[in-house]
Every structure is written in C-alpha cells, then in structure tokens.
A and B are shown apart, each in its own frame.
Chain A
Amino acid sequence: MNGKELLKIEDLEIRYETDDGIVYALNGVSLHVNEGETLGLVGETGAGKTTLAKGILRLIQTPPGKIVNGKVYFEGKNVLAMSDHDLHQVRGNAISMVFQDPMTSLNPVMTVGEQIEEVIAVHNNSLSKEEIRERAIAMLKRVGISADRIDEYPHQFSGGMKQRVIIAIALACNPKLLLADEPTTALDVTIQAQVLDMINKLKTEMNTAMILISHDLGVVAQTCDRVAIIYAGRIVETGNLRDIYKNPKHPYTVGLLDSIPSLTRDTKRLKPIKGLMPDPTNLPSGCPFAPRCNYASSACSEAVPELTDRGNGHLVRCIKDISGKEGQ
C-alpha cells in the first residue's frame, strides 16, 4: 500500500508581514507523504498547521503572507514553481482540501448537487450533463447521504451532514491527496465518530493519501499511519504512529501526550506543559520549546537543533535523549 512518494515538502518557509511585526509561521518544514498513506499533522493553535496546508496548494494570501523559501514536489513537480494553469489542474483535482468549519465552507445559494457537479465539470470537460449528475449522485451516496437530497440547499443540512457534503466535493475528482484541516473539530463526538469512520473507509476504497491536520491526538491515533508533530513552525518529531505514541522522544510530544485527560487510566491530576506557545513574531533563539521544557539546558538555546534519525524513520529535533527518563 505504502508505495511511491507522492508529496515531498522541502524546507518550506512562510511568513506573514503584519502591523505587529513579521510572523514566522513556518520555519523550514520538510515532510513527505506516500501514495495511499495518511499522515497526521499534530500541533496547537498557531503552530503553523493551516499555513502548511494552504502553502501546499499555494493558497497563502499575499500580502500579508509570503512563501520565503522551500519546494513542494507533487509527483515530482514543484507546485510552488508551477504556472497558474498547471496549478488549477492540481487544485481540486489531484489535491483537494477540506476545511474545519462546515458552516462557512459551502456556498449558501447553490444546492449541494450543483456544488459537487461544479467541481466535476471543471476538471472533466468531456463529460455530459447527465454523466456529471450521475457522478455527483454516486459521490453523495458514498458519503452516506441519500440521493434524493441532491437538490437541497446547505442550510437544510446539519453540521455533520454538511461536512459529509464537503468531503464529497473534495473526493469528487478522485484526488490522490486529501488535505483535511481539522475536519471533525466542529462536530459532536458521536457525529465525529461517524465522519471519521466514513473518511477511513473512503480513503481505503479510493486509495487516497491524506494529511489529517488535528490538535486531537485521539483522532490521529485512530486514523493515521504516520505522525508529524509541529511546534512554532517546525516539525519537532515525526515517525510512524506506534513510535510516536509508544516511544515519544521529543519533550513536547511527551508533554502533549501527558496533558490529555485519560479515559483509560485513573489520574488524580493532569500534567500540563508549563508556560505558553512562544510569540511567533518573537521566537526565542535556539530550540523554541526550550523555555517550556523540563529537560532544557543552556545548550538548548544556542541553536535550533537539527532533525536527527533515531532509527526506523523516527526523526526528532532535540539534542537530548530523554527516552526512559522522567521529567521534572
């Protein structure tokens, strides 16, 4: 299943120039996604998750945003250097995106059928009207919505149903890569379970690779093959799912896993990460996590550590080896 490399990001750097100074949103992110594989991108508010997803499709608004450096190879071609025409072929067709908020992602004055048909029509101009509609109906069925709702408007759907429609639109052209930005965050848990279940089924059926962006380590654990943890615009740890959850090696990952209230264990007290996310206009020199880190020493604030391989593709951006040690 995990065959060829589909997407490769090299050293992506994105900044926003604002009134309050330059926001260093992404500071050299390198990632790859193989065909049919699901990568979980985990980070907190302001870590740069959404910027990364938008950067892949060149959806960064300029100004204030600016892609300063880096390359995004999709099937060997650099998306960032593509002509606008080629880019439109990639967007929505080979790579599509699902946004967090199902309430605002749909056009309120078009029926859901029209919105699905539109994407199909844009990328398949040889199809007849009837064929397009057939495909749209098939797509709706796949996401678990009955065909007789095709001529309804978005406001007639509940939040969970809207998110299904959005996923139907995203998958309508059978993309090779789906960028899902917090697709279930706005939904209730029982609905989230339904939608995740559906996404899991569809991506196996259609052999779609996915980058699932989430702040929820639970959602990622149940959906992804590999995980990348992002902090202050840098990947701090990446590896396969089991390695990250069972043998985390970056103090931030350890802290994140520890701060989640556990359903399975009995805890009397949570272990939060101390302090706050650094101000992205004023990042500390050296390791950006050092001010919050229980293991930090003076060496940590000298230079940003490199990602080093700890075996089995498990990369960690930390100069210390903390495995097996207890913090504090």
Chain B
Amino acid sequence: MKSRANEKNKQRSLWVEAWRRLRKNKLAMAGLGFVLLLVVLAIFTIAVDLITHNAFYTEHVVKQNLRLRLQGPSKEHIFGLDEFGRDIFLRVIWAIRYSLFMGTVAIGISVVIGSLLGAIAGFYGKVVDNVIMRIMDIFLAIPSMLLALAIVAAFGTSLTNLLLAIAISYVPTFARTVRASVLTVKDQEYIEAAKALGASDARIIGKYIIPNCLAPLIVQASLGVAGAILSIAGLSFLGLGIQPPTPEWGSMLSNARSYIRDGWHITVIPGLMIMLTILSLNVLGDGLRDALDPRLKN
C-alpha cells in the first residue's frame, strides 16, 4: 500500500524535479532570494513613483542637499549621503530597476533573436546554418563591450540604444547555445517517432525540440543577465549609459570615485550592490545548471 502512495507522489515533470533539486542547493537559493528581494524592491519603488507622481523621487532621490554632502551612515540615512547630499540607500534602491530590468529586457531580446537564429540554423542545417553561424562568428570576434560602446557612440546615449547595444552583443551566445542543443535533440529517436506518426515540422519544433532545448537556454540566460548588468554599469561608468541625476549603480560609482578619500561609503555601497547582484545571478545560474542536468541526478 505504501509503495503505491509513493508512486503517486512521484509523478512529477522534469521541471518540478529540477526545482526540487535546486531547492537543495543552499547557495543557489540564497542567490535566488537576493534577486527576488531586488525585484520586490524595484517594483516597490516604481509603485511609489506612480502613486506620488514622482514627487517622492524628486524630493528624496534627486534633490541635492550640499550642506550634508558626504555624511557617513547614520540612523536616518543607513548608507549615508553622497557627494551632493543625497540618500545613498534610496538611490541604490531606485537604481535597481535600471540594472535588473534593463539587463533582463536586453537579455530577453537577445534570447528571442538568438534562439530563433540558432533554432533555424540547427534545424535546417547546411547553407542556412553556415550563413547564420558565420555572421554570428563575426559578431563574436568583436569584444562585446567594444561593440556596445561603438553602437552607443554612433547612435547617441539613450536608454533604447543602450538596451539594443547590449542585446545585440549577446545574440551570438544564445544562437550558439540553442543551435548546439537543437542539433543534439534533432537526432533523438523521439523526433523520428513523431515523424513516423506524421507530425508536421512546426509541431516537431514546437512540441518536441523547443521544450527539450530550454534547460541550457535558461542557464545561459541567467548568466547573461549578470553580464548585461555589468555591461550597463560599465557603460554608465564610462558616461555612455544612464545619465545623472538618474540613479544608476555604474554612474554612481563613476561619480563617487573622485571623493573616494572623503567618504568610503559612496563608492563601496554601489560597488557592493553590483557585486552582490552579479554573484547572486551567477550562483543561481550554476545551481540551475546542476538542477536541470539530469545526468547529475542521484
């Protein structure tokens, strides 16, 4: 009787099982926790802006108060104040949306474009494959930061250009990942079985190939978001990203560096935020890789 009950509980999809394995990985769960915390905070700040019609934002995040500049952490301002007397805690929180959401959107764009290209290249092969992948190789030959720099420099510094620049530089990575997994999945017997049943190409791609290619893509994407956040911060640091007074971790770091002798906190806090976010996303990505790879089961 007992074994029967066990059997019932055991019916779970590979996704559910991956989640069960991920949950056992404490480091990855901590990473996930931190990322979720950032998401909640970012949504909270957006809500505040919407409700107060940016009043809170102008009053507390952007407005300068030179009298109190470079004040260290205190009870009222736990992370202290920056070179213009603005609360660093609030600025750091208000900046999450640019890093996290823009990173995610940029990677989202490149995942869609990249996997489409990769899937087409892998599924149809031959000439199509060659043309697509050689173009990707050319992109890969240019350092991604340089490519992004060139795009932003050429088309001007705007949010959209920044997004596009980062998205484009990540397309080849995803195209390669997806192509590789399509090539593996394509030769599996279950694809042949579907063909023998008379399934159409579209059905085979949609129901058989894509679901079985998702795992490596998810891992790559979570690591990609980390990279994109770093790129955004880097470009902003160079003055090509988000422009002041809008808070952004990279530009905060860049502006603060002249005052590094006058107050440690104004460089350390944004730097720490960048580091923690990247670290969280990376351990989460590694955890996902272990969880999604069935070979590591048991």
Contacts and interface: CB of A to CB of B under 8 A. Distances in A.
B24 interface: yes
A282 interface: yes
Interface stretch (A15-23, A98-106, A153-161, A296-304): A15-23
Nearest to A64: B298
Interface string A19-44: 11000000000000000000000000
Contacts, number: 13
Contacts of B6: 282
B298 A282 contact: no
B126 interface: no
Contact of B3 (A18, A20, A64, A279): A279
A16 B298 contact: yes
A260 B104 CA distance: 59
Nearest to A291: B3
B21 A19 contact: yes
Nearest to B21: A19
Instruction: Describe B's contact surface by its main secondary structure.
Output: helix
Instruction: Describe A's contact surface by its main secondary structure.
Output: loop
Contacts of B24: 19
B297 interface: yes
Given A19-B297, A19-B298, A282 B21 contact: no
Given A19-B21, A19-B24, A282 B297 contact: no
Nearest to B20: A19
Interface residues of A, number: 7
A282 B9 CA distance: 14
Interface in A266-286: 279, 282
A16 B297 CA distance: 13
Contacts of A20: 298
Contacts of A18: 298
B111 to A, nearest CB: 30
Nearest to B10: A20
Chain B interface category by residue count: under 10
Contacts of A64: 298
A16 B20 CA distance: 19
A18 B6 CA distance: 16
A214 B2 CA distance: 33
A53 to B, nearest CB: 19
A282 B298 CA distance: 16
Contacts of A282: 2-3, 6
B240 to A, nearest CB: 47
Contacts of B20: 19
Contacts of B298: 16, 18-20, 64
A282 B7 CA distance: 11
Contacts of B21: 19
Nearest to B6: A282
A219 B153 CA distance: 73
Contacts of B3: 279, 282
A282 B5 CA distance: 12
Contacts of A19: 20-21, 24, 297-298
A19 B297 CA distance: 8
B287 to A, nearest CB: 15
A279 B2 CA distance: 12
B272 to A, nearest CB: 35
A20 B21 CA distance: 11
Interface in B1-54: 2-3, 6, 20-21, 24
A20 B17 CA distance: 11
Nearest to A21: B6
Interface in B278-298: 297-298
Interface in A57-86: 64
Nearest to B2: A282
A18 B3 CA distance: 18
Interface of B: 2-3, 6, 20-21, 24, 297-298
13 contacts: A16-B298, A18-B298, A19-B20, A19-B21, A19-B24, A19-B297, A19-B298, A20-B298, A64-B298, A279-B3, A282-B2, A282-B3, A282-B6
Interface of A: 16, 18-20, 64, 279, 282
- Chain A to chain B: the 4 pairs with minimum beta-carbon distance, closest first: A18-B298, A282-B3, A19-B298, A64-B298
Given A16-B298, A64-B298, 11 more contacts: A18-B298, A19-B20, A19-B21, A19-B24, A19-B297, A19-B298, A20-B298, A279-B3, A282-B2, A282-B3, A282-B6
